Amino acid sequence: MNAPGVGHAARGMSAHRLPLVDMHGLRFGDRAQRLRVAEAIAAASGTYGFFYLSNHGIAREAMASGFAAAREFFALPLAQRMACRPREPRQNRGYQPMFDTVRPGGKPDRKESFDMGFPLPADDVDQLAKLPFHSPNSWPELAGFRDRVEALYFAMLNCGHQVLRGMALSLGADENFFVGRCVKPTTNLRLVHYPPQAADLEEGIGASAHTDRGLITLLLNDDRGGLHVAFDGGEWIDAPPRDDAIIVNVGDLLTRWTNGRFRSAMHRVVNAGGQARYAIPQFHHPAFHTVVDPAELPRADPEAPLAFEAVQAGTFVASGFSRDRTSWNTSRMPDAR
């Protein structure tokens, strides 16, 4: 499902635009209003795999504080950023240096990032076992940084759970079908810095064409554009930032769980504006050991064959990291380039 390669050469730009879903009715409405919003989410998820979300409930102050924290972190000297690398191999908490992500057939992504994951107690059994995505968060020595990033993490986590409840309603399942499997999620929030890139896209872009591996992704963007979403006609849909909305997209696990009803769309980031670009995605994942089985959800035709076999969520996501990240392909931490 994660399409290989940079994936930009054969596509032009589309006249299509991503739909806007107003979340107010899902958050505060009666059942009929909640279902209408759920149906709008399902329509966007099935057609585009991406949509804008307004009235999402994430405070502007929390988002602005998160972007301020990102700018402060990436302004630190490289040695201080590198000191925040994951403490164990095969973890995604802490600093990811430039060019660490290299998808098959493509150039290294021109970005650097910082991740935090769901906080775990010191005696957590999966953390002690060094299971992928289970390690202590690694924090820089920046005043207020941890408080700001954690506050945004939980605000976005709550919003994502509301979206997942709407998706479950639209599928005719219990509204906590997905959220109930996210009690100890491997959800991570990522601060991303895209430096200005070369004019020649063949030299590499901010993020090469890919699909996300998890359930859904919530995305906050600064005022720079550059996000493009692949559409069925073989073109890219431009997805510029909106002041009144965030972006939500479907990941591979949700496509599998819905037996293909929700579309995990390929997308890329091209930072061609000549200035630094910052983004804050939160990748929503269930608990590592969750079995993602499309047979569990209601289907329009129960007799139709299943398009996907059951997989363990954490193993499925980890396989993508192992394929695409240099730091996951070796036992050593990545060096700066």
Q: Are strands 20-22 and 50-54 parallel, antiparallel or unpaired?
A: parallel
Predicted TM-score (pTM) of the model is: 0.93
- Per-residue confidence (pLDDT) for residue 203, from 0 to 100: 66
Q: Are strands 277-284 and 188-194 parallel, antiparallel or unpaired?
A: antiparallel
pLDDT in tens, the chain (337 residues): 444 344 444 568 888 999 999 999 999 999 999 999 999 999 999 999 999 999 999 999 999 999 999 999 999 999 999 999 998 888 999 999 999 999 988 889 999 999 999 999 999 999 999 999 999 999 999 999 999 999 999 999 999 999 999 999 999 999 999 999 999 999 999 999 999 876 666 667 899 999 999 999 999 999 999 999 999 878 999 999 999 999 999 999 999 999 999 999 999 999 988 899 999 999 999 999 999 999 999 988 888 889 999 999 999 999 999 999 988 875 333 333 2
- Read off the CATH number of the domain in which 170 is found: 2.60.120.330
Q: Distance from first CA to last CA of the chain, Å, rounded?
A: 29
Burial class (CB in 10 A: 0-12, 13-18, 19+), 86: buried
Q: Is 40 a member of any domain?
A: yes
Nearest to 321 by CA among 136, 164, 157, 86: 86
Q: List Cα–Cα distances, 159 to 2, 3, 138, 263, in angstroms.
A: 25, 28, 24, 20
Q: Is 241 a member of any domain?
A: yes
Burial class (CB in 10 A: 0-12, 13-18, 19+), 201: middle
Q: Is 334 a member of any domain?
A: no
The pLDDT tens digits for 238-288 are 999 999 999 999 999 999 999 999 999 999 999 988 899 999 999 999 999
Q: Is 3 a member of any domain?
A: no
Q: Is 87 a member of any domain?
A: yes
Is the dihedral angle over the CA atoms 201, 202, 207, 213 positive or is it negative? Answer: positive
Query: Taking the CB of residue 85, how many other CB atoms lie within 10 A of it?
Result: 16
Q: Is 4 a member of any domain?
A: no
Instruction: Please answer whether residues 273 and 199 qualify as being in contact, where contact means their C-beta atoms are separated by less than 8 angstroms.
Output: no
Domain of 258 in residue numbering reads as 12-328
Q: Are strands 267-269 and 207-210 parallel, antiparallel or unpaired?
A: antiparallel
Count of the separate structural domains present in the chain:
1
Q: Is 229 a member of any domain?
A: yes
Instruction: Please answer whether residues 215 and 285 qualify as being in contact, where contact means their C-beta atoms are separated by less than 8 angstroms.
Output: yes
Cα 102 from Cα 4, distance rounded (Å): 10
Q: Is 5 a member of any domain?
A: no
- Per-residue confidence (pLDDT) for residue 336, from 0 to 100: 32
- Per-residue confidence (pLDDT) for residue 200, from 0 to 100: 65
The pLDDT tens digits for 202-248 are 667 899 999 999 999 999 999 999 999 999 878 999 999 999 999 99
157, HSE (Cβ side, Cα atoms, 13 Å) = 22
